[in-house]
Amino acid sequence: MTAVTLTERSPGRRGDAFLSVQDLHVSFRTEDGVVKAVNGLSFEVERGTTLGIVGQSGSGKSVTNLAILGLHSKEHTEITGEIWYGDTELIGPGGRTMERLRGNRIAMIFQDPLTSLSPYHTIGRQISEVYRKHKGASKAEGRDRAIEMLQRVGIPNAKIRVDDYPHHFSGGMRQRAMIAMALVCDPDLLIADEPTTALDVTVQAQILDLLRNLQQDFGTSIILITHDLGVVAHTADNVMVMYAGRAAERGTAAEVLGAPRHPYTWGLLSSIPRLSSSVDVPLKPVRGTPPSLLNPPSGCPFHPRCDYPQLAGPELCFTERPELSPETGHADACYLTLKQKQETFAKIKETL
Amino acid sequence: MSLLELDGLTKYFPVMGGFILKKQVGDVHAVDGVDLTVGTGETVGLVGESGCGKSTLGRLAARLYEPTSGKVIYEGRDISHLSRRELAPIRSEIQMIFQDPYSSLNPRQTVGTIIGGPMEINDIKPEGGVEHRVRELLEIVGLNPEHYNRFPHEFSGGQRQRIGVARALALNPKLIIADEPVSALDVSIQAQVVNLLQQLQRDLGIAFLFIAHDLAVVRHFSQRVAVMYLGKIVEIGERTDIYERPRHPYTHALLSAVPEATIDVEQRERIRLAGDVPSPIDPPSGCRFRTRCWKAQDKCAEEIPPLVQITGNGEGHLTACHFPEDPTTRGEDVVLDPALA
């Protein structure tokens, strides 16, 4: 990186955040028009913490993280904004820089562990390949490292299983192997895209606990993408709720899940049945369907599904998109006043 | 008399091996001796991890599969081995809703054809014509009747699932087997569909066999709940029995593994099983859960625990375990996974 780009660093960037995304826009050109999948998103991840990103499918969660990894196809995607990883800007350079970082400093775990492992190569080879490429290790060193990592993630008989192919592994073991592969170079940042969605609850609990233990040992920061608020409550330090390509609410897990301020977050929380909730009352879903990103609604993208636009003064909600405020701490993008939000939430809290 | 009765129901799928001459080398014990009843207008939930045989059981109950042994009794009549022709009149009374709203609708047919098709096949002529009835059904499931001529790709996942529900309702069934009807949907849409099913259940008095892996959804929807593990029911009972007084260690482990979306509740006990469900081709002897159970002793390997009302259980609460959990006290944390210990 040149000194010039370093001095251009965005003023909003906080000192302790080592990943900082500023005003990110990602749009895809399709036959039907331009899909604005991410539309002005800013967030930060602090060292050693977990950021949970929640939202419905199509809210831009995965697109954001593929942008961090530089995995979008250049021909069909337009990306603007800034992504700072330490002192490196990730959108500009592409190519070589990303290749050095990807798998080494920044790693990813995908949702489906079967399709993201190569069926033609042994588990051990797939894990050691990453290590050898980035650390220049020999074949034997790579193999030892693969065995060590498999042991760390709790694969029994790692010395033997290292020569197995992915189809020899069960779903939970494959996801463990993926985690071993992601952590083999001891990355600073791990992006986990729905890591437990394809797994059963008992295995999900194992994997989430494992991620948390490994985070404590390695000091890795994690971005955990999920649609399951339970998973977030269980694992994340900070939470960002996304809607239509933007952050609707952001804060610590206790703030967002304990005292949520955005009507969409209320809707998400009231939609899910819980083991302790009353079974005699119907669930309270968010009405309507998520907006089309080809032709998003004017104003606040949530207004067609929101129950409270009257409270905020409807013109504003219908015409102008609310910004996420305040800049730091617990923030939300909604025109309701803080008092209105607190009062409304207090009213509906009992029914959640 | 119960509407549907499953009696010792078993389904084995043959496993073929060999290079040129294929021969049977084993069986997948998908469902192994299941007894279950569904009363008229009742909702029975079926939970378990993937591969435990819950979908196979659903398909057996709908007689989409023929059982290897055991009986499927519908309204007092044994339908386990009826031919296609003999089954035809019963088919209209037992309907299914499938998990994947994308692959369960024919992309080349309009919504009108998809929902109206079953009526034509069964030669049902509703008052006012098929089209009128289809529009009515669309309205019942919360879709716009104007969408009669649209194709499935024009709808979102939640709307497609509603089409699937309308199709199941088209023949006025008495029993609907819903196989993971909401697990492919986003939470807010999932809640809409659960509410819809619940409302239909109340308004039309349809009995449901509700298959799902999400314990909270099942709790919300079902009056009775059966927990399956490797082809067998390990515990069954009223909703409150299963969720508040689980006796089987597996039920207990399942419940403790559900992540709850609350931060400030008192810490639940933490049970972390090791590994995954064993292969149903060669299931463990005795109690099938013993390989992952923290209470397992020699007896568990030798004797299959019967599904009975053990001491301390309420009426109709059956548990298959030699060493059941104490229903009253909060247990210790159990962590079996070596990577977490």
Please give, rounded to a whole number of angstroms, the shortest distance from the CA of B277 to a CA of chain A. Answer: 9
Closest CA in chain B for residue A199: B50
How confident is residue A6, by pLDDT bands cut at 50, 70 and 90?
A: very low
Averaged over B146-153, what is the pLDDT? Answer: 90
Chain B interface, best mutation among A148, A151, A206, by max B CB count within 10 A: A206
pLDDT tens digits, B81-98: 999 889 988 888 999 999
Averaged over B235-257, what is the pLDDT? Answer: 91
pLDDT of residue A7: 35
- For every residue of A1-46, DSSP letters joined together read --HHHHHT--TT--TTEEEEEEEEEEEEEETTEEEEEEEEEEEEEE
pLDDT tens digits, A294-308: 888 888 899 989 888
Q: Is B190 in Cβ contact with A213 (below 8 Å)?
A: no
Note whether B338 contacts A: Cβ–Cβ < 8 A.
yes
How does the average pLDDT of chain B come out, rounded? 88
CA distance A271 to A164: 42
CA distance B42 to B66: 24
Q: How many percent of chain B have pLDDT more than 70?
A: 96
pLDDT of residue B267: 65
pLDDT tens digits, A235-288: 899 999 999 999 999 999 999 998 999 999 999 988 888 888 788 788 888 888
Beta strands A17-30; A77-85: pairing state: antiparallel
Closest CA in chain B for residue A289: B189
Sorted by sequence, the CB contacts under 8 Å of residue A122 that are 6+ apart come out as A162, A163, A164, A165
- Smallest Cβ–Cβ distance between A273 and the set B217, B253, B340 belongs to B217
CA distance B159 to B192: 10
How confident is residue B219, by pLDDT bands cut at 50, 70 and 90?
A: very high
CA distance A251 to A87: 25
Please give, rounded to a whole number of angstroms, the shortest distance from the CA of B238 to a CA of chain A. Answer: 13
Farthest CA pair distance, chain B:
67
Please give, rounded to a whole number of angstroms, the shortest distance from the CA of A1 to a CA of chain B. Answer: 40
What 8-state DSSP symbol labels residue B201? Answer: H
Averaged over A212-219, what is the pLDDT? Answer: 88
CB B176 within 8 A of CB B97: yes
Q: How many percent of chain A have pLDDT more than 70?
A: 94
Q: Is B156 in Cβ contact with A289 (below 8 Å)?
A: yes
The closest of B73, B49, B79 to B227, measured between CA atoms, is B49
B220 interaction partners in chain A (CB closer than 8 Å): 273, 277, 279, 283
CA distance B132 to A25: 47
* pLDDT top residue among A16 and B144: B144
- Smallest Cβ–Cβ distance between B338 and the set A154, A282, A290 belongs to A154
- Smallest Cβ–Cβ distance between A213 and the set B258, B262, B340 belongs to B340
Residue A266: alpha-carbon gap to chain centroid: 20
- Smallest Cβ–Cβ distance between A234 and the set B156, B259, B340 belongs to B259
Burial B33-66 (b: 16+ CB within 10 A, else e): bbbbbbeebbbbbbbbbebbbbbbbbbbbbbebe
Q: What burial class does residue A112 get, using C-beta atoms within 10 Å of its C-beta: 0-12 exposed, 13-18 middle, 19+ buried?
A: middle
pLDDT of residue A12: 44
pLDDT tens digits, A27-42: 998 888 888 899 999 9
pLDDT of residue A90: 84
Q: What is the residue type of A311?
A: L
What 8-state DSSP symbol labels residue B130? Answer: H
Note whether B337 contacts A: Cβ–Cβ < 8 A.
yes
CB A170 within 8 A of CB A87: no
Least confident of A155-159, B184-188, B236-240, B325-329: B325-329
The closest of A292, A295, A234, A272 to A351, measured between CA atoms, is A272
Where in B86-168 does DSSP place strands (E)?
A: 94-97
Q: Find the helix or strand (DSSP H, E) in which B220 lies.
A: helix B215-221
CA distances from B5 to B8, B73, B126, B221, B269 (A): 10, 5, 30, 20, 36
* pLDDT top residue among B280 and B234: B234
pLDDT of residue A16: 59
Q: Is B259 in Cβ contact with A231 (below 8 Å)?
A: yes
A-proximal residues of B, 129-158, CB under 8 Å: 156, 158
B265 interaction partners in chain A (CB closer than 8 Å): 276
A284 interaction partners in chain B (CB closer than 8 Å): 191
Please give, rounded to a whole number of angstroms, the shortest distance from the CA of B179 to a CA of chain A. Answer: 16
Q: Is A271 in Cβ contact with B188 (below 8 Å)?
A: yes
Q: What is the residue type of A119?
A: P
Please give, rounded to a whole number of angstroms, the shortest distance from the CA of A324 to a CA of chain B. Answer: 23
pLDDT of residue A299: 87
Model ipTM value? 0.82
CA distance B227 to B234: 6
Note whether B239 contacts A: Cβ–Cβ < 8 A.
yes
Strand order in the sheet with A33-46: A33-46, A17-30, A77-85, A88-89
Chain B interface, best mutation among A224, A255, A283, A302, by max B CB count within 10 A: A283
Q: Is B273 in Cβ contact with A202 (below 8 Å)?
A: yes
Least confident of A94-103, B58-67, B168-177, B311-320: A94-103
Helix (H, G, I), strand (E, B), or coil: what is residue B241?
Answer: helix
CB B35 within 8 A of CB B48: no
Residue A55: count of CB within 10 angstroms of its CB:
25
Is the pLDDT at A9 greater than 50, yes or no? no
Task: Find where tokens 């059956």 sit.
Answer: B318
Q: Is B254 in Cβ contact with A202 (below 8 Å)?
A: yes
Task: Find where tokens 């482990």 sit.
Answer: B253
Q: How many percent of chain B have pLDDT more than 90?
A: 48
A279 interaction partners in chain B (CB closer than 8 Å): 219-220, 239
pLDDT of residue A145: 94
Beta strands A238-243; A246-252: pairing state: antiparallel
Averaged over B28-34, what is the pLDDT? Answer: 91
pLDDT of residue B330: 57
CA distance A70 to A93: 10
- For every residue of A313-336, DSSP letters joined together read -HHHHHHSPPPPBSSSSSEE--SS
pLDDT tens digits, A148-181: 999 988 888 899 999 999 988 888 888 889 999 9
Q: Is B49 in Cβ contact with A254 (below 8 Å)?
A: no
Note whether B20 contacts A: Cβ–Cβ < 8 A.
no
Task: Find where tokens 């400093």 sit.
Answer: A105
Sorted by sequence, the CB contacts under 8 Å of residue A56 that are 6+ apart come out as A227, A243, A290, B186, B187, B188, B189
Extract the tokens encoding B95.
């309907």
Averaged over B306-319, what is the pLDDT? Answer: 89
How confident is residue A234, by pLDDT bands cut at 50, 70 and 90?
A: confident
How confident is residue B341, by pLDDT bands cut at 50, 70 and 90?
A: low
Is the pLDDT at A193 greater than 70, yes or no? yes
pLDDT of residue B328: 63
CB B236 within 8 A of CB B225: yes
Q: Is B338 in Cβ contact with A257 (below 8 Å)?
A: no
Is the pLDDT at A146 greater than 90, yes or no? yes
